Structure 1
Amino acid sequence: MNNKEPYFEDIPDRRDTNSLKWGKYSGKDVIPLWVADMDFKSPPGVLEQASRDARFGNFGYAKCPSGLVDAVIERSFDLYGWKIEPSWLVWLPGMVCALNVSCRAFEHESSQVFTQTPVYPPFLSAPGNFNLPCTRIPMVLEEGRFGIDFEALESLPTSPSDLFMLCHPHNPVGSAFTKDELDKFAQWACRRELFVCSDEIHCDLLLDPGLSHMPLAQVNPEIADRAITLMAPSKTFNLPGFGCSFAIISNGNLRRRFKKAMAGIVPDPPAMGFSLAESAYRTGEPWRMELLDYLRENRNFTLDELSRIKGITPYSPQATYLLWIDARNLPVENAQSFFEDAGVGLSDGKDFGAPGFLRLNLGCSKQLLGQALERMVSACVDF
């Protein structure tokens, strides 16, 4: 690809299209920067594959194509140096479903589920769906970056077979965990005989130069034996509406337990979900590289603009297209409602376990982002 600006500025008008993101504020002058999907068109190769599938004209049930399995295996090795086997893959229609299946798989063995906060809301709700207590461990903020609180982990009472739900890279704070952090976490989890569900859906959206993703299960064989790794092309290539995700589980007994928890409840991904996922992985890399450049520019622009507002602290994400904002010092009762009234729809931090914070979606055109940021700055001009 080239000419990235026209491609990423040529945004489909999603108003009145049953879009979850845009429909929330239908009929209102509110710019939606909340739910984590991007406004950009998917990669050209994906659009071409969708056209071929539509012209074919039959939308019956489908099995996962062998080409997609090969693409996942090749991509895992090429990008992460992780050698996986076809039998380790379990296909799913979405990541929220996968988080719930992971909890269901341990509902009779775990005494509790651990997760770090703030975190993507289904991490907080999934354990309760299976009567499992959710123990929240606040992340630590050091030099503008949120990290794992290892002192808190060491003090936690745990039982063998408890489940830890890890978000890596982390949504909403945008931290990409380092090899040292993952090593230390893996040692702790193995020593406590815990199992870990590692949601790595944002792993191909690393913004800081020099970063590379290390899957938790790649750290050492011991943690691999206790890990359920969740991945998908949906966030990276903007395909969330096609519901094609997968778990990577090397331990055969754990994989069978996971599949048993799915039985009779969880459907396969749709036929076009499979075909578009393969197309994204096979043809989407040039688009992804240009997307990352565009998101970096949006991130840096947003940080500059938000620095004009007294009372808020934005944090620069190392990964994801989501930017976390501490708005607790704004002289308003509810920051999310305040900015919504000013014409900008953001995610409320209380849903992530962090009242007073906000999450802003960078996955939109610079023009729209600029309009939203100007509204936010203007709303706070008297503070």
Structure 2
Amino acid sequence: MTESTLFDFDQVVERRHTQSDKWEKYAGQDILPMWVADTDFRSPPAVIEALHQRVDHGVFGYGHAPEHLTQLIIERMQTRYQWTIEADWLVYLPGLVCGLNLAARALTESAQSIMTPSPIYPPFVSSAKLAERELIKAPVTLQADNRWLMDLNQAEQSITEQTKLLQFCNPLNPGGTVYRREELEAVHAFAKKHDLLVCSDEIHSDLILSPDAKHIPFASLNEDAAQRSVTLIAPSKTFNIAGLGASIAIIPNPALRARFTRTRQGIVPSLNVLAYTAAEAAYDKGQAWLDVQLDYLRGNRDYLLREINQIEGLTLHPFDATYLAWIDASALPVANPFLFFEKAGVGMSPGSDFGNSKFVRLNFGCTRALLEEAVKRIKTAVAGLN
């Protein structure tokens, strides 16, 4: 039996009535849920088996990170990204969003501002607002090679002396761009020029779909980048274990790490023992499953690129990573593309949540059959406009 048959991504897993945010949003309605970023795939068998063993033990008290998990992360950063990290740099968190919020509060003061790309994943914006910091937006624009990148020239026009933190995202969500080394070096030069700390959300770094794209951690560029950065990673999107809550902040600078950990005290809890179990199993024995998932997602991406770009009024630019398609619907003669497609039976994420209401974000981390049905409904809805 081959790995592609052992791991069946065409298998339909019934997620209704399982307390799924994704599927229960449209409970009782004929609307396909293609929004929040979890997939409809069963997690790797090794993860499920490890969880069964832990549950069978029957005691679920307080726990701490297994040394083996820490070592797996160190080895993963070295072998995949040639980034040498140390165990002391790791701070385990019960989710990546709380890492963004901790960075906003720990690395800035009340009178200071935070710069984020725009459009961007909504918690980037809310982390500044919840911390009561001024938000400075750095526009994400389409480059000549049809890749979405943060426009540093425009960012220069809006940054102030009070801007102290850049919340960065690579791979980009939305947009799916994987930053090349020279592009990352330009971001580093910008941060160094303005003496910015950088919180780099790299949660989608294991979900690279293009063979010519390579993820490079921002902090791995050089020692200066490392010393001014907090890197956020997680197995959650990669192995579909987001509901278990396991993320990691990698913070080389001891002073920044102390500020970060002090801010979390009494507010952000440790991981639960099942989260540690799942993360360890995923990183230890999940690679074969991940390889097959990536092939499946590439097929879904390529199908979407072909089909969406044949629909008049819609554009989907090529992208390197994630299972999230950032679809430009600005040429459609509709006031609100999200509501238009929702009414047609496809529930995507509204572009307004990210910063541009003329876009929608479609989650294609699902079976091909479901994706084909979604595309069929999108085509029918657009055809009905003529």
Q: Same fold (TM over 0.5)?
A: yes
Match of 1:119 in 2: 120
- Worse-superposed segment, 129-138 or 303-312: 303-312
Could you list the per-position Cα deviations for residues 9-57 of structure 1 after superposition, in whole angstroms to 9, with x for gaps in the alignment? 1131001111000000000111100000000001111111111112111
SS at 1:247's partner residue? strand
| SS state at 2:8 partner | helix
Q: Is the 8 Å Cα contact of residues 161 and 195 (structure 1) preserved in structure 2?
A: no
CA distance in structure 2 between the partners assigned to 1:161 and 1:255 by the alignment: 20
Structure 1 pair 183/4, CA: closer, same or farther in 2 (3 Å)? farther
Look up the equivalent residue of 1:256 and give its one-letter code. A
Structure 1 residue runs without a partner (length 5+): none
Equivalent residue, structure 2, for 1:281: 283
Provide the C-alpha distance between the structure 1 equivalents of 2:5 and 2:279, rounded to a whole number of angstroms: 22
1:316-353 alpha-carbon deviations (Å, 9 max, x no partner): 22111100011111111211111111111000000001
Residue 42 (structure 2) pairs with residue 76 (structure 1): no
SS in 2 for 1:164: strand
Q: Secondary structure at the match of 2:3?
A: coil
Q: Hey, what does 2:210 align to over in structure 1?
A: 208
Which residue identity does 2:221 align to in structure 1? V
Q: What is the rounded CA distance, in whole Å, between the counterparts of 1:255 and 1:222 in structure 2?
A: 15
Report if aligned partners of 1:33, 1:344 keep a CA contact under 8 Å in 2: yes
The code of the aligned residue for 2:220 comes to Q
Query: Offset of 1:159 from its aligned partner?
Result: 2.5
User: Structure 1 residue 227 and structure 2 residue 217: aligned?
Assistant: no
- Code of the residue aligned with 1:339 in structure 2: it is F
- The aligned counterpart of 2:191 is 189
CA contact (8 A) 1:107 1:131 kept: no
Amino acid at match of 2:18: T
- 2:178, 2:111 → 1: CA distance? 27
Matched letter for residue 152 of structure 2 = F
If the length of structure 2 is used for normalisation, what is the TM-score? Answer: 0.97
What SS does the aligned partner of 1:324 have? strand
Distance 1:301 1:242 in 2: 31
Percent of counterpart pairs with the same letter? 43
Letter aligned with residue 2 of structure 1: E
Which residue number corresponds to residue 337 of structure 1? 339
1:43-89 deviations in whole A, cap 9, x for unaligned?
Answer: 11111111111211111111100010000001010100000000000
The CA deviation at 1:3 is: 2.5
Equivalent-residue separation in structure 2 for 1:50 and 1:326 (angstroms): 40
Whether contact under 8 Å (1:103, 1:130) holds in the other structure is yes
Compute the TM-score of the two structures, normalised by the length of structure 1.
0.97
Residues 1:378 and 2:380 aligned together = yes
Mapped partners of 2:267, 2:319: distance in 1: 36
Aligned to 2:10: 9
Map of 2:369 onto structure 1: 367
- Separation (CA, whole Å) in 2 of partners of 1:136 and 1:156: 8
Q: Which residue of 1 aligns with 2:48?
A: 47
Match of residue 33 from structure 1: 34
Contact 1:233–1:277 under 8 Å retained in 2: yes
Alpha-carbon separation, structure 1, partners of 2:317 and 2:57: 46
**Equivalent residue in structure 2 for 1:154, among 140, 147, 156:** 156
Superposition pairs for residues 308-323 of structure 1, below 5 Å?
A: 308-323=310-325
**Are 1:11 and 1:41, in contact at CA under 8 Å, matched by a contact in 2?**
no
The amino acid that maps onto 1:295 is L
SS of the counterpart of 1:298?
helix
Aligned residues: 383
Distance in 1 (CA, whole Å) between partners of 2:91 and 2:44 is 25
SS of the residue corresponding to residue 176 of structure 1 reads coil
Conserved 8 A contact 1:175-1:317: yes
What is the CA–CA distance in structure 1 between the aligned matches of 2:162 and 2:383, rounded to whole Å? Answer: 53
Contact 1:316–1:323 (CA<8 Å) still a contact in 2?
no
CA offset at residue 5 of structure 1? 8.3
- The farther-off stretch of 50-59 and 118-127 is 50-59
